[in-house]
């Protein structure tokens, strides 16, 4: 208990990702790399790989022309050499941002209770798989695992982490595994790392959702979809056109800038706005569409539940692509690889894809604060406070407030649940907790 309290205590000074942007228009003129904005590198290795990433992106653009914002975002976040997530811990005080599971254990506990409650309502199917997309430091998985081990009453389950970062996959294993092993390259088939928790549960790490075995699954995605690449589109003279990224090379640096595509791009051609689309400028994530489509097909064919938790909107925001560095906003085209890149999740799009790609019953999105309150978060808070040292009580309380207060994370973060469509009548009779 003390460890948990101190753990929360050491986190409360961190900031989460805000929505305010650094005041950059959607299509900008040249972006100057000013002296006082130059990135502070954390180590020589990072400086070198990030410098290489800038060169690599600049060279690609010079050779083949401007690239999409999605390609830029993908390279900056997940390039095997200089990608932001690939080789270091980016969370917490020494990192760039803090996420809900890292702020308070109450978050993961309530998510775990919600999952187990819905699983029991479906008759406690066994075996099941716990899948997490983009588990970060593994804190949510660890807190959910604690709840599952109390509830599961003999059911068999395995854990499947979908994680692209070799560094973070080891951090996750160290958080909730008793032992783990990175598989030699030649043995890597559907998974690249395996582990075993202290209670004997098998854990597998996969690079892609497609590589996770099929079967009844409980799926979690917290701040995963906001890290997926977005295309930026604008409606000009009745046609959707794509915003691209170009580069100006001078002797010392590569200055990236936004430009409008001269002709239709594959994505601007393919893009079909949802009915009643009002916006003339928007962000469109093919990768988010692909992941939700896959989840929908899996849930329909093999059963399960998915819970998507992220900051986002319901099809009304236009320009949310931004960088985040050392707990402050960062111009996304500056010093690629040194800052997180993110875009708000379009929940209307996700819900539409889930419901049209397969027979899926969606609940929400609801606001995080409402979800946590209706899952009796206050009761858990009072329990923790009862056992906490007096000097830690205000820290525990402020962590909970940060997660639930509408002015902080309570309204910006949203929860969307997906169930197989055949359960719709059952779920109307026994309503889904937290989504009332």
Ligand X SMILES: C[S@@+](CC[C@H](N)C(=O)[O-])C[C@H]1O[C@@H](n2cnc3c(N)ncnc32)[C@H](O)[C@@H]1O
Least Å distance between CB 207 and ligand X? 7
Burial class (CB in 10 A: 0-12, 13-18, 19+), 279: middle
CA dihedral 113, 116, 118, 121 (to 10 degrees): -130
Q: Single out the residue of 96, 95, 338, 129 nearest to residue 215, CA to CA.
A: 129
CA distance 334 to 328: 14
Least Å distance between CB 236 and ligand X? 30
Beta bridge partners of 281: 234
Nearer to ligand X, 206 or 361 (CB): 206
Nearer to ligand X, 135 or 364 (CB): 135
Residue 28 structure tokens: 């900008």
Least Å distance between CB 342 and ligand X? 7
Cα 294 to chain centroid, rounded: 16
CA distance 230 to 68: 9
Nearer to ligand X, 31 or 341 (CB): 341
Nearer to ligand X, 132 or 300 (CB): 132
Least Å distance between CB 77 and ligand X? 6
| Chain residues in the site for ligand X (CB under 6 A) | 77-78, 85, 99, 101-102, 134-136, 140, 162-165, 168, 222-224, 227
Q: Single out the residue of 46, 142, 120, 126 nearest to residue 87, CA to CA.
A: 46
Nearer to ligand X, 212 or 233 (CB): 212
Least Å distance between CB 376 and ligand X? 22
Nearer to ligand X, 31 or 212 (CB): 212
Least Å distance between CB 413 and ligand X? 10
CA distance 40 to 226: 25
Residue 187 structure tokens: 């043995």
């Amino acid at each position: 208990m003390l460890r948990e309290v101190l753990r929360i205590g050491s986190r409360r000074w961190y900031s989460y990702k805000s929505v305010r942007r650094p005041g950059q228009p959607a299509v900008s003129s040249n972006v100057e790399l000013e002296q006082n904005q130059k990135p502070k590198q954390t180590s020589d290795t990072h400086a070198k790989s990030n410098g290489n990433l800038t060169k690599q992106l600049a060279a690609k653009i010079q050779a083949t022309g401007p690239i999409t914002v999605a390609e830029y975002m993908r390279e900056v976040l997940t390039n095997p050499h200089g990608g932001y997530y690939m080789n270091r811990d980016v969370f917490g005080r020494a990192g760039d941002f803090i996420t809900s599971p890292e702020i308070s254990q109450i978050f993961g506990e309530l998510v775990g209770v919600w999952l187990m409650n819905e699983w029991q309502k479906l008759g406690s199917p066994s075996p099941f798989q716990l899948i997490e997309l983009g588990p970060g430091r593994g804190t949510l998985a660890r807190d959910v695992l604690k709840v599952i081990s109390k509830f599961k009453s003999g059911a068999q389950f395995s854990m499947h982490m979908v994680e692209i970062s070799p560094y973070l996959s080891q951090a996750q294993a160290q958080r909730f595994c008793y032992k783990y092993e990175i598989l030699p390259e030649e043995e890597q088939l559907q998974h690249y790392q395996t582990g075993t928790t202290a209670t004997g549960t098998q854990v597998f790490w996969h690079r892609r959702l497609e590589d996770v075995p099929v079967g009844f699954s409980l799926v979690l995605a917290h701040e995963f979809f906001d890290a997926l690449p977005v295309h930026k589109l604008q409606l000009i003279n009745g046609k959707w056109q794509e915003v691209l990224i170009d580069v100006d090379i001078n002797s010392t640096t590569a200055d990236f800038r936004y430009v409008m595509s001269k002709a239709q791009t594959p994505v601007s051609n393919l893009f079909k706005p949802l009915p009643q689309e009002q916006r003339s400028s928007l962000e469109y994530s093919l990768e988010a569409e692909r992941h939700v489509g896959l989840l929908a097909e899996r849930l329909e064919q093999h059963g399960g539940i998915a819970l998507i938790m992220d900051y986002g909107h319901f099809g009304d925001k236009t320009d949310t692509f931004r960088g985040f560095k050392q707990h402050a906003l960062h111009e996304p085209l500056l010093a690629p690889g040194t800052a997180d890149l993110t875009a708000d999740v379009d929940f209307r799009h996700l819900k539409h894809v889930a419901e049209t790609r397969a027979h899926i019953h969606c609940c929400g999105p609801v606001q995080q604060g409402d979800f946590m309150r209706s899952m009796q978060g206050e009761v858990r808070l009072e329990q923790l406070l009862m056992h906490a040292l007096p000097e830690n009580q205000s820290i525990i309380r402020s962590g909970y407030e940060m997660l639930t207060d509408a002015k902080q994370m309570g309204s910006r973060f949203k929860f969307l649940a997906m169930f197989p469509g055949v359960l719709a009548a059952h779920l109307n009779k026994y309503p889904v907790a937290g989504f009332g």
